[in-house]
Amino acid sequence: MQILARYIAEAFFKNLMMALLGLTGLFFFQNVIASLNDYALNQLVILCSFDVPKMLVMVAPPAALMATVMTLSAMSKTNELVACYSIGISIEQIMSVILPIVFVMCCASLVIQDRILPAFHEKKTLFYWREIKQKQDFYLDVKQDKVWYRSKNLIYNLRTFDPKLNQILGIGVYVFSEDFELQEFLQAEVANYTPSGGWELTNGKTTHFEPKTGFAIVESFKKRELKIKESPADFKMIEQEVDRLRIKELIRFIDNNKKSGIDSKGFEVKLHSRFSMSFIPLVMALLAVPFSTSRSREGRLAKDLGIAFAITFVYWIGYSITLSLGQKGTFSPIVAAWLPTIVFGALAVYLLKRMQR
């Protein structure tokens, strides 16, 4: 059994690598072609390169499904499955060789999402704004307890931002001179966007630093207008930048929003989807078994791959819908992230039992 297990593992691993590289290449090429009219080719290639780890995570489920189909279909076509059955080796024992490899890939996918994707997302953001948009002073950093936003001679420190109310809760503004010397520091509990295009600070204080003496003069205020060019649309980028947070940082970010009374369902859905996304390949590998072991093998591989792509398409449609419903509050974040996986997992178990009968 050890020799057979090694043979199956090698065949599956080769098919898995081919599927991963092929699908990632197609994904990369499609992204380049889709944005070819928007950016210079060299910039576009670099921009899309930052998405390669994300592409690997996204293509892992269909790659696992395709690799399982290709491996079992090849064994069935050459009657190797029949030979295995004849010596008492069941499909369960064959899958016991394949599934651990898929499980390792699932764990690697989770590690990539937690450790690698945040760093690549940050590099992509900086490249986009500084190299493509030519905003060399741009800087946006989202931490679990604060959001840092830099624009020209100002640095913002935001506790959190409510996109529904266009309201900042907890803001600190550092004002620097051209020589990058701190001139003034503003703090306020709340900042509301005004129709005139500025921000109205409420219940705060200002600390002004004398340029010659360096003494700090502190004054309190109830209302004060802050004229800056950034609008709520700029701060809504914070929601996108949450993707650069690690799992533990995202959990703290969600807790911080909840304490501030801000709806965090969208962020909770993102948190749970990281786990559910990582373990979809296991379900896909199980789903591939009933479609890859039928007795009639004439032209079957093409049909099996077609079924594999159809299953993947249906799954992603359902997955996208449930995530969207979770962000809107129709489903709880856990249900939104895990419902398609549970449904397709149950379908896989049903088809396997039916196949055994």
CA-to-CA separations, 191 to 89, 156, 197, 231, 243, in angstroms, rounded: 68, 12, 13, 12, 25
Where is pLDDT greater, at 262 or 107?
A: 107
Average pLDDT over every residue of 287-292: 82
What integer pLDDT is reported at residue 147 of this predicted model?
Answer: 67
Where is pLDDT greater, at 129 or 220?
A: 220
Predicted confidence band of residue 24 (pLDDT cuts 50, 70, 90) = very high
Residue recorded with tokens 């799954």: 315
What integer pLDDT is reported at residue 182 of this predicted model?
Answer: 82
pLDDT higher than 60, residue 140: no
Residue type, position 243, single letter: D
CA-to-CA separations, 16 to 31, 95, 127, 208, 274, in angstroms, rounded: 22, 14, 32, 62, 21
Where is pLDDT greater, at 347 or 157?
A: 347
pLDDT higher than 60, residue 297: no
| Sequence-ordered list of residues with C-beta below 8 angstroms from that of 201, at least 6 positions apart, any chain | 171, 186, 188, 190, 191, 221, 223, 224, 225, 226
Average pLDDT over every residue of 231-254: 74
Where is pLDDT greater, at 35 or 263?
A: 35
What integer pLDDT is reported at residue 112 of this predicted model?
Answer: 93
Q: What is the percentage of the chain residues whose pLDDT exceeds 70?
A: 87
Predicted confidence band of residue 184 (pLDDT cuts 50, 70, 90) = confident
What integer pLDDT is reported at residue 144 of this predicted model?
Answer: 46
pLDDT higher than 80, residue 197: no
pLDDT higher than 50, residue 27: yes
Mean pLDDT of the chain: 82
State the SS3 of 135-161.
Answer: CCCCEEEECCCCEEEEECCEEEEEEEE
What integer pLDDT is reported at residue 294 of this predicted model?
Answer: 62
Average pLDDT over every residue of 124-150: 66
Rounded CA gap, 138 and 153, in Å? Answer: 11
pLDDT higher than 70, residue 340: yes
**Exposure on the CB side of residue 353, measured as CA atoms within 13 A:** 6
Which pLDDT tens digit goes with each residue over 199-211? 888 988 988 887 7
Pair of tokens at residue 210: 């004398």
Q: For the ranges 39-48, 303-312, 326-335, which has the lowest average pLDDT?
A: 303-312
Which pLDDT tens digit goes with each residue over 31-63? 888 887 777 888 888 888 999 999 999 999 999
Which pLDDT tens digit goes with each residue over 69-86? 889 888 888 888 888 888
Average pLDDT over every residue of 349-354: 82
Spans of all domains in the chain: 2-133+256-356, 139-241
Burial of 125 (0-12, 13-18, 19+ CB in 10 A): buried
Rounded CA gap, 95 and 288, in Å? Answer: 11
Q: Are 108 and 116 in contact (CB under 8 A)?
A: no
Where is pLDDT greater, at 215 or 278?
A: 278
Q: What is the percentage of the chain residues whose pLDDT exceeds 90?
A: 23
Mark residue 176 as left, alpha or beta (left: phi above 0; alpha: psi -120 to 50; beta: remaining). Answer: beta
Rounded CA gap, 58 and 48, in Å? Answer: 14
φ/ψ (deg, to 5) at 165: -100, -5
Predicted confidence band of residue 307 (pLDDT cuts 50, 70, 90) = confident
pLDDT higher than 60, residue 138: no
